[in-house]
Amino acid sequence: MLKKLKIESNINNLSIVENAIDFITGQAGINQDNYGKILVSTLEAVNNAIIHGNKSDSRKFVEIEIIIKGNLLQVKVTDEGSGFRPERVPDPTFPENIEAINGRGVFLMSKLADEIEFNKKGNSVKLKFKNILS
């Protein structure tokens, strides 16, 4: 199963992504626990792409690709921004970063997804969720 979306960088378009996640996970019969992890992680990735990657420039787009192969769901989110270095994002659990605004999204995605990887440029993230049907 494959679903591709291309949305303008407008935060209101998160609802389009949410509807796509609802549809594809419903079709695949994914349980509630996995659905929640997939939804939160995907919306966080798209939100980051819109705000940080594309700087909320509605002339730029975010591409989302959702693939289900057997018991694995993969979400790829790519923006048109210049990218970033994920290793430079401060850990929000460190005391000096507790009140910092940035870094929580990447941390959350890394805790909810079974695997997370960024491309070399840093403008695309791939989230993998295993055993989605159990």
Where do the structural domains in the chain lie, given as residue ranges? Answer: 2-130
SS3 121: coil
Predicted TM-score (pTM) of this structure: 0.91
DSSP 26-73: HHHT--HHHHHHHHHHHHHHHHHIIIIISTT-TTSEEEEEEEEETTEE
| Per-residue confidence (pLDDT) for residue 54, from 0 to 100 | 98
pLDDT above 60: residue 8: yes
Q: Which one, of 88, 62, 82, lies nearest residue 123 by Cα?
A: 82
Structure confidence by residue, pLDDT tens digits, 25-66: 999 999 888 999 999 999 999 999 999 999 999 999 999 999
- What percentage of residues in the chain have a pLDDT greater than 70? 88
SS3 7: strand
- Does domain 2-130 match CATH 2.60.40.10? no
